[in-house]
Amino acid sequence: MGFNITEKLCVAVASSALFDLSESDKVFQEKGYSFYKRYTRQHLNDVFKPGVAFPFVRRLLAINKRFPEQKPVEVVLLSKNDAETGLRVFNSIAHYKLDIIRAGFLSGKSPIEYIPAFNASLFLSANADDVKEAVKAGFPAGTVLGPCSEDDESDDELRIAFDFDGVIVDDAAERIFQEQNLDAFQNNEKDNAKNAMDPGPLFKLFKHLSALQRADKLSERKHPDTYKRFLRISIVTARSAPAHERAINTLRKNRLEVDDAFFLGGIEKGRILEVMKPHIYFDDQMSHLKSSSGKHIPSVHIPFGISNK
C-alpha cells in the first residue's frame, strides 16, 4: 500500500532553508557548476551548519513522536541540486537525526510545480525568485531571512508566530488601507466585523497547526501530571481596535485558535517577538520583518498581495 500524504501536514523545504549553504553557494557562484560538483564530492561528509528554518523543522518533525500512530507531519526536501550533489544534504540530515526521507532533486530546474504533488502547505527557500514564482502560481511559499539560528535543544516547545493580513487571510482589507487611508480601513473592518475574511496563502498551514494544537491541548487535559504541551501559536498584527474584532471572528468562524494575539496598531513588532522568541515568524511586509531581523528572530517573507507590488 502506498504512502498517503493527503492527510499530513506537509512542509517542503529547499536545502537553502534548512542549512547554511553560504560557503558552497559561493563556490558555485565564483567557480561554476563543474567545480562546484567536484567540491561537493570532496566534502560529502562535511556537515552543513543549521539554517534559518532548522529549529522550526526539527521541532515540527518531533510532533510525530507525540503521536506515533498518526505521524501527522511530513517534511520533504525539494532541491535544485542533482541527486549526486544532494548527497551532502542528506548526509547532514542524517547527522542531525532529522526524520526526512523523501526528496525531489531537479538538477537546476525550479521545484515549484511539485509543491501540490506533495500536498505541501508551505514551501520554504532562501531563493526569493523561486518563492515569488510559487506565490504567483498560487502556492504557499516563503523566503527565509536573517542569520542562521542557534537551536536550543533543551527547549522542545515549538513557537510559531504569524502576521494576519496577507498571510493567514487575504489582502482585501490591506488594499483599502494602502489605496485609501487608515480611517477607511478601520471603518470597513468595523462595518464587516462579523464577516469572516477569505483565506490567505498560509491558511491551510494555519488550519493544520490548529488541529495539532487541539490534539496537544486534549492530551494535556487527559494527562495533566505527565503531559507537557509542545505547540504555541501566536498572531502578531498591526491591526488594533476596532479592527481586532473581525480578525477574532474570522478565527472563530473557522474554528481556529491561537494562544497569543497581539494587536499592535503601529508598535514595532520586533519588540514583541524579542520577548516571544518564536522559532519562526511569517509576515508579508518586509518593513515588519526588518524590525525583527536584528533580534535574531527566524523570519519568513510571504511575497503576497498589494504589499509586494
Check if 163 is active-site. Answer: yes
Taking the C-alpha atoms of residue 131 and residue 134, their distance in angstroms, rounded to an integer, is: 5
Q: Which residues of 68-85 are buried (b: 16+ CB within 10 A; e: fewer)?
A: eeeebbbbbbbbbbeeeb
The C-alpha angle with vertex 99 and arms to 96 and 103, in degrees rounded to 5, equals: 105
Catalytic residue among 20, 130, 163, 216: 163
Q: In 10 A of CB 108, how many CB atoms?
A: 9
Please state the φ and ψ torsions of residue 156, each to the nearest 5 degrees.
Answer: -100, 5
Taking the C-alpha atoms of residue 263 and residue 171, their distance in angstroms, rounded to an integer, is: 17
Contacts of 160 (CB under 8 A, 6+ apart): 56, 209, 231, 232, 233, 234, 278, 279, 280, 281, 282
Catalytic site positions: 163
